[in-house]
Amino acid sequence: MLLIPSFAPAYYSGLTPHDVMYDYDKINAAWKKFSLDFQADSHGGAAVPSPGKFLEILDFKLYKWPGHGVSPETTYQCIEGEYMKADEYDILIHNPLYFFYYIWPSRVFGALEPIQTLPHLSCLTEMYGVAVPFFHYGTPPVKAAYKALLEAGDEALKWIQVVGGFDQEMPALGFPAHQAGPTKAPFDVIGDTLRGTKGIMMDMYRQPDKLIQAMETLTPMFIQLGVDAAKRAGNPLIFMPLHKGADGFLSDEQYKKFYWPTLRRVIMGLVDEGCVPFIWAEGGYNTRLEVIPGL
């Protein structure tokens, strides 16, 4: 039996999602009790309750969370938006690391908004002018952003030491981890939290070639994301939640053109590196069964 229980362990122990997001010491006892009482064949970790103080420090805008936009008794709520603009595909395609280091974080974390002004450091290949790009780091807004980042890092370290302890304890009790970590279909990467549902749907019609090119750029990155997680954990199982490829969201032709090709490449890239993709279709997938045997 496999369980992916979200916040059910908290409720089962009489706690709220807010309790376990702000009092880390309550996490492991609740998740351990849930595993022992229901005797699933494996565990999925205890990282569902993200550290609330961490989210507050960075002013996380991508989700509402218990006590911050939704009641303490409820779970997360995603706030869809265009965190990547329609005319920014070329930045993602040609310099994805710069995009994910500076542009995207500055939009989903309010405290990091100033880092969008930071230049890339290509000019450091020469002596003359080597100090020029660094003046940005001395400005008060950028210094405040990095101060928040360091404070958030301290909080994340406190949290990971707790939930990491759960991961170490459970295998000894007979509950191996059912995954090493996640990766995603490139279409979902863009459609979930970059362009948003509306944005990516418009892009399929208005700039399909750019969308496909961006997904091709992301493909090796998300293969490597899974491979690295498997190596760190010593566990070949890589969780792949499938979101926007479900029945009824895309037509068969759209699925074949936009969703499946890069998803297939991620799957096969993981397999080639000795990983086992744990594919979790979030929605009906019956109409896709004609395509998937193409693996």
Residue 204 lies in a domain: yes
Residue 3 lies in a domain: no
Claim to verify: residue 169 and residue 266 sit in the same structural domain: no
Confidence of residue 294 (pLDDT cuts 50, 70, 90): low
pLDDT digits (tens, 9 = 90+) for 239-290: 999 999 999 889 999 999 999 999 999 999 999 999 999 999 999 999 998 8
What is the average pLDDT value for the chain, to the nearest integer? 95
Q: Number of structural domains, the chain? A: 3
From the list 211, 279, 205, the residue with the least C-alpha distance to 245 is: 279
Taking residues 68-93, what's their average pLDDT?
97
Q: Note whether 158 and 51 are within 8 A (CB).
A: yes
pLDDT score for 64? 98
Claim to verify: residue 168 and residue 185 sit in the same structural domain: no
Claim to verify: residue 40 and residue 160 sit in the same structural domain: yes
138, 173, 208 - which closes a domain: 173
**Full domain range(s) for residue 132:** 86-147
Claim to verify: residue 26 and residue 119 sit in the same structural domain: no
Taking residues 42-58, what's their average pLDDT?
96
Claim to verify: residue 48 and residue 189 sit in the same structural domain: no
pLDDT digits (tens, 9 = 90+) for 166-215: 999 999 999 999 999 999 999 999 999 999 999 999 999 999 999 999 99
Claim to verify: residue 57 and residue 161 sit in the same structural domain: yes
Claim to verify: residue 121 and residue 259 sit in the same structural domain: no
Claim to verify: residue 44 and residue 160 sit in the same structural domain: yes
Residue 33 lies in a domain: yes
Claim to verify: residue 46 and residue 165 sit in the same structural domain: yes
Claim to verify: residue 99 and residue 241 sit in the same structural domain: no
Residue 102 lies in a domain: yes
Residue 168 lies in a domain: yes
Claim to verify: residue 23 and residue 114 sit in the same structural domain: no
Claim to verify: residue 53 and residue 189 sit in the same structural domain: no
Residue 2 lies in a domain: no
Taking residues 102-111, what's their average pLDDT?
97
pLDDT score for 248? 85
Residue 257 lies in a domain: yes
Residue 141 lies in a domain: yes
pTM of the model: 0.94
